[in-house]
Amino acid sequence: MTEQVLADFDIGQIARSGQCFRFRPLAEGRYALVAGGRYIEIVQRGQMVGFECTEAEFETVWRPYFDLDADYGHYKQAVAKRDAYLQAAVHVGSGLRILRQELWETIVCFIISQQNHIGRITKCVENLCTLFGETCYNKHGEVYHAFPTAERLAGCTAEDLAPIRLGYRAKYIAAAARQVAAGEVDLDAVRGMKYTAARAELMRLTGVGVKVAECICLFALHHIDAFPVDTHIRQMLDAHYPKGFPMRRYKGFAGVMQQYAFYYELMTN
C-alpha cells in the first residue's frame, strides 16, 4: 500500500465522472480500477488515499494517470466569483481530476458512449473486455481482463461483437480497429500532435466525430483545452451561457471547467 495525502482528489467523484468506465465500487470509499492492463484498488478516507501498489508503480503509473502533479486548486481559484453556476459546479465536483488514459481504449469507449448512458457504456466496455481482452489475474488470484487491442478487434465482424449489444457502434469499432491495425491512423503519431492536429487526425477514424474526438483529446491525450459538447453541456450552455462560455478566461484549461460542469449536470439532473 502506498499512502498519499491528496488535496482536490475524490476517488468516488472521479469514478462517477464519465471519463473512465472501468472503475468498480468495492465498499464505501474503496474502488477497483483496470487501466492500461493493470489492476489497482484505491481506498480513500478524507484526504488520505491508499493505492494498493508499490511506491515505484505509484510514481511511474498512477501519479501521472490521476494527474497528481497538477494544481487543481489553481484551476478552481480561476473561476469568476460572479459566476454562480460554475462556482456551484466546482463545489460539487471539488475532487475531480482529468485522467491520462490509454489512447486506444479511450477511442473505443467514447465511440460506445454515443447516444448512450454511463451505466450501459460501463456494461458494454466490461463485456467487450471479457470477450476479447487478455485474461489477467490480480493479487487476490481473481480474473480480470485487459482492454482488447486494435489488432484483436480488427479481426472481429459485427456479428462477433453482437453479444455485447453495441448496436450501430459495433461496425464503427470494427472499422476503426482495422484502420489502426493497418497503420492508416498512427496512434503513436497522434500522441505527439498538438490539440487541433490530433483532433483532426482522430476524426479520420470511423465513428469519431467532433464530440468524440474532443473527449479523446481531453481524457487520453490530456489536451485540457479541449471542450467536448454533448447533450448535458449543450443544455448547460443554453441555460447559463447563452452568449457563449467564457473560453478566454479559462484558456489552456477550459476542459477542466467542462468536466466540473458535466459532473454537476450529472449529479443534479
Long-range contacts, stretch 156-161, CB < 8 angstroms, 24+ apart: 156/132, 161/128
Average pLDDT, the chain: 96
Query: pLDDT tens for residues 20-72?
Result: 999 999 999 999 999 999 999 999 999 999 999 999 999 999 999 999 999 99
Distance between CA atoms of residues 173 and 154, nearest Å: 8
CB atoms within 10 A of CB 251: 9
* Cell numbers representing residue 203 in the block: 476524426
pLDDT of residue 219: 98
Query: pLDDT tens for residues 114-168?
Result: 988 999 999 999 999 999 999 999 988 999 999 999 999 999 988 899 999 998 9
Cell numbers 489553481 correspond to what residue?
74
Query: pLDDT tens for residues 216-253?
Result: 999 999 999 999 999 899 999 999 999 999 999 999 99
pLDDT above 90 coverage of the chain, percent: 95
Give backbone dihedrals phi and psi of 36, rounded to 5 degrees, phi first: 60, 30
What pairing do the DSSP bridges indicate for beta strands 48-51 and 2-5?
A: antiparallel
Contacts of 27 (CB under 8 A, 6+ apart): none
Contacts of 231 (CB under 8 A, 6+ apart): none
Distance between CA atoms of residues 138 and 34, nearest Å: 10
Burial 98-124 (b: 16+ CB within 10 A, else e): bbbbbbbbbbbbbbbbbebeeeebbeb
The catalytically annotated residue of 123, 211, 243, 251 is: 211
211 is catalytic: yes
pLDDT of residue 144: 95
Position 136: which residue type?
C
Report the candidate in 153, 169, 121, 89 with the shortest Cα–Cα distance to residue 23: 121
User: Helix, strand or coil for residue 240?
Assistant: helix
pLDDT of residue 185: 97
CB atoms within 10 A of CB 249: 13
pLDDT of residue 30: 97
Structural domains in the chain plus CATH codes: 2-69 (3.30.310.260), 84-92+222-269 (no CATH), 103-219 (1.10.340.30)
CB atoms within 10 A of CB 60: 12
User: Is pLDDT of 15 > 90?
Assistant: yes
Distance between CA atoms of residues 97 and 36, nearest Å: 18
